[in-house]
Amino acid sequence: MGSLKGDLSVMSVPDIVIWLANRTRTGRLSLSRGGVRKHLHVVQGQVVQSSSDDPRERLGQHLLNFGYVSEAQLTVAFATQTETGVPLGRVLVMGSVIDDDRLHKVLNYKTRECLLDAFEWEQGAFEFADDVQRNPALDAPTSTHLAEIHGEGTSRRAMWEEIRKLLPGPQYQLEVLAQPPGTLNPFDRRLLEFAMMGRSIGELALEVRALDFHVFARLYDLAKRGLVRAREPSRTPRSAPPPLPPDAAPGTPVVPAAREELLAELRIRLEARELEQAYIVAQRILERDPNNVEALAALQSAQARPTARGAALSAQSIPQLAVARDQLDEYLLTSKERYVLSRVDGKRTLQQIMQVSPIQEVELLRIVEAFVQRGFVTV
């Protein structure tokens, strides 16, 4: 079996895609960066199936985002899929929750976005292997030629440059400048509603369960229409004391906000082999700098070793807040940390939170573990 592998800093995703398209290759393309891995099955230069361990790129999340299923319907479908081994999409079609047309529409969107999202990766690894069979446990869309995706990806990279001039990153908050017009579509209206709640762009993207480009593109349109404006968050959260040393007791605020300060803390954590804390710091860096080499390497090192408490957490455990929600405003938290806290209501089990969360399971467990250690949450 022939294969090609390498580093994305040497051969970029767009270069790989056009190479496969021009040679009409058949096999599986695997891409990895940090804790995210994607697999795309290619037949004669056309993508016929995709999978990703980024929960935002899974079929269930896309169906929720399109408004085709509810969380309750998805939970039932997951249980049926586990029992029968039938692909999730087929379970939903057989249960008359969605029809074939909607399923194929979302599957095609899922496959394109899985690959297009990776066009922004500057770090990571790739491997292409011939003659790898497609996964029978996954639904398959109609095929899309890689050359077509390459063209779309090239245009998207140019648009990202324009978007970042107005919306520099997910840590930015949004100021709503005008009353939204009555003609605004439901998705854009939801974005504005979360913006008015003071959510950052990253938090907002998690709430609507959409991929970054879709959220940033819609916000860019709203910004060009004079409805919103990006505002950099204050360097130190409200009422938070100065940064504490790495051995600070659990539950005390730690607020290094600048990238350089976060990188310094990451190096200290790694040198002390405090991989759980390094994992959280790395996530904060990546929210500001998605291609940061040190943070991506730290994620990979931390994920290679399961945490003691994370391994012990039961899927049926029910996390509960141990402090008032308004007290948490004092802490520098990432978008993902705030999302997890918003789902902790004393009623949902960890399994119920994870099943419909746009955050990877291992990452969600680490976040809950860190909250327990800091005294924010009891389980």
Condensed to tens digits (0 to 9), the pLDDT of residues 73-88 reads 988 898 898 888 888 9
The 3-state DSSP composition of the chain as helix, strand, coil percent (nearest 5) reads 50, 15, 35
Q: What is the pLDDT of residue 182?
A: 82
Q: What is the pLDDT of residue 64?
A: 85
Closest CA to 290 of 70, 35, 56, 92: 35
Beta partners for residue 30, in sequence order = 39, 127
pLDDT tens digits along 283-303: 778 877 777 888 888 877 766
Q: How many CB atoms lie within 10 A of CB 45?
A: 18
Closest CA to 42 of 131, 124, 103, 138: 131
**pTM: predicted TM-score of the whole model, two decimal places:** 0.73
Give the residues of the chain that fall short of pLDDT 70.
1, 131, 137, 139-141, 233-259, 302-312, 329-330, 332
Closest CA to 284 of 265, 312, 304, 309: 265
List the domain boundaries for the chain: 3-54+61-157, 167-231, 259-378
Q: What is the pLDDT of residue 242?
A: 34
Beta partners for residue 144, in sequence order = 47
